[in-house]
Structure 1
């Protein structure tokens, strides 16, 4: 792998926001900060359109700080939020979709995403903070959490209120569709895993590949089960990685961290990471048979001691563990007891 976003990489090391950069004629990257988030910022990509106006890929977190940064970035490239004609969303997470409604209200722009993510964002549970809490708590209990422990990690309904107001799309993009951004050929590439409807975008004139959160240069994106997701998100993610890795692209433009070259090498690294994780989890199942995902997560290697995990970090860890268990089951390596709270044992081979 080769780092091509050197200014982004240097800013990351200095723990500061990177600059707005012109990447190609009529294409810019705009960093939009994520308040209090370890990923620090999401990169919004701005495209100047034939006939005037701008297109955006992802918008950033919904906050005043982020809104100010996005507007300032558009001003820096000689535009304004009112010039935006269309917004492509790689996936439904708040740091990508959060500001889309403000952009639409300010500019009249359309918003587009994959139908699978649109269905989640528009679901009655997602639009109701109290229902979202109930659904997530129930899901964690089904993975082995005690109800009070699950409720403490999920938190109050008020925390879910911002997510319940995220933009619903005006347009849907399926795999292979070309976005309506005149002067560019941005073809949607459905890459499920991080979310059911995650999209990358292949720009066919320049060869650039906008990878969203599907392929990042340093970290492995979280691949988790959810109460409203797909049954085997990790299996779908690995299949998507394999397909994407076959592409010969001059540069990858991810949503976080920095631009890079070497898509095939990076997808291979990510696949190897998950195979190691699957092997570690299988060993844990063999050592502690009849364990729940909640229990097994505490037996795995994490970036810090398990005792320090709580709230959203623990939820991500447990649901990521569950995603790995489901893939082991699909491969015939573990079996579930079934029931309200499944317990896992190694399959007899």
Structure 2
């Protein structure tokens, strides 16, 4: 039996598993509308995940064939992976923010070789050692990355506008940071349990009860623009804090209240981390060297290959923020690039 939860007011969730991932599952929300159920996210593209989703829909009193639409918080494969299969089975539309739709379109048109080449160049610039880079070379490179043929959305989620969900008031809140097109979805309706606050917020990965979401670089092999994902995320956190929703319905873990308190915790967490990184930057360090010295959920020598790439990306996002704030700078002419506190 699929794990489903009734959240009241025509909203239920299904725990859709993510294979071989410590997150365990994605919470896919089923929202009733006057034209049929709409999904918020779909889960990972995997046979077990698909079976769990369809069984969960049955437990919710509907079927995948009856899905009217799919609203995607962001393009990552544990959220968008099954969207195409849902559309094939039901004829449902798929909606996504334009910035993440651009990533989907680029991913579909960019082969794995281009991505591995881009990753190798970026990690070289970050100071990765040769034994790590060698794993990105043919034929020794790791298995293909997931999600190279994601479904192209049919509709654009426009920030600030209500989505076309008859009988519901669901407003898009643009919250870049985790991805450039991440959106939260504000259900502007009285809370079914009369909790104090302004409706409910489907928060995707932006606001989770116990996890600080990954803030890495906005990957684009063909764009050299220096973005500031961490700055985007912190601004987005404050925007969500001002909404004062009565309850948060996140894409992982569990529903929770006190969104303002959680926003304060995350803002404090990142400020503390930036301060700690400045102390490390008393001497010039590459992004790789900084990642080796940062605090993670396990020692660096126990972090696997793929997770090290993510950690270096997160280190670079924090470095970009420090540079933008004038608290760190790059060392002139260094290759790989080194950073030092100002």
Where does residue 227 of structure 2 map in the other structure? 231
Q: Is the 8 A contact 1:125 1:132 kept in 2?
A: no
Does residue 103 (structure 1) correspond to residue 86 (structure 2)? The answer is: yes
Q: Give runs of aligned pairs for residues 206-217 of structure 1, distance below 5 A.
A: 206=190, 207-217=199-209
Match of 2:102 among 109, 113, 119: 119
Where does residue 159 of structure 1 map in the other structure? 144
Where does residue 13 of structure 1 map in the other structure? none
Runs of 4+ in 1 over 4 A off after TM superposition: none
Give me the TM-score of the superposition, normalised by structure 2.
0.91
Q: 1:33 to 1:338 in 2, by over 3 A?
A: farther
Does residue 55 (structure 1) correspond to residue 24 (structure 2)? The answer is: no
Give distance in 1, aligned partners of 2:150 and 2:226. Answer: 21
Give me the TM-score of the superposition, normalised by structure 1.
0.89
Match of 1:183 among 144, 167, 179: 167
Shift, 1:177, TM fit: 2.1
Match of 1:325 among 296, 314, 319: 319
Match of 1:344 among 318, 339, 342: 339
Where does residue 186 of structure 2 map in the other structure? 202
Q: Is the 8 A contact 2:77 2:147 kept in 1?
A: yes
Shift, 1:151, TM fit: 4.5
Match of 1:264 among 243, 260, 264: 260
Of the structure 1 ranges 232-241 and 119-128, higher mean CA displacement relative to structure 2 is found in 119-128
Of the structure 1 ranges 332-341 and 63-72, higher mean CA displacement relative to structure 2 is found in 332-341
Tell me the SS of whatever aligns to 1:209: strand
Tell me the SS of whatever aligns to 1:265: helix
- Unmatched tracts of structure 2, length 5 or more: 191-198
Q: 1:124 to 1:225 in 2, by over 3 A?
A: closer
Of the structure 1 ranges 196-205 and 300-309, higher mean CA displacement relative to structure 2 is found in 300-309
Shift, 1:146, TM fit: 3.4
Q: Is the 8 A contact 1:196 1:230 kept in 2?
A: no
Q: Is the 8 A contact 1:194 1:213 kept in 2?
A: yes
Q: Give runs of aligned pairs for residues 1-349 of structure 1, distance below 5 A.
A: 19-51=3-35, 53-123=36-106, 127-152=110-135, 156=141, 158-160=143-145, 162-206=146-190, 207-228=199-220, 231-286=227-282, 289-337=283-331, 341-347=336-342
Give distance in 2, aligned partners of 1:277 and 1:91. Answer: 25
| Greater length-normalized contact order (CA 8 Å, ≥ 6 residues apart) | 1
Tell me the SS of whatever aligns to 1:280: helix
Give distance in 2, aligned partners of 1:23 and 1:43. Answer: 12
Q: How many residues are paired up?
A: 327
- Unmatched tracts of structure 1, length 5 or more: 1-16
Give distance in 1, aligned partners of 2:17 and 2:201. Answer: 22
Q: Is the 8 A contact 2:68 2:93 kept in 1?
A: yes
**Pairwise CA RMSD of aligned residues?**
1.9
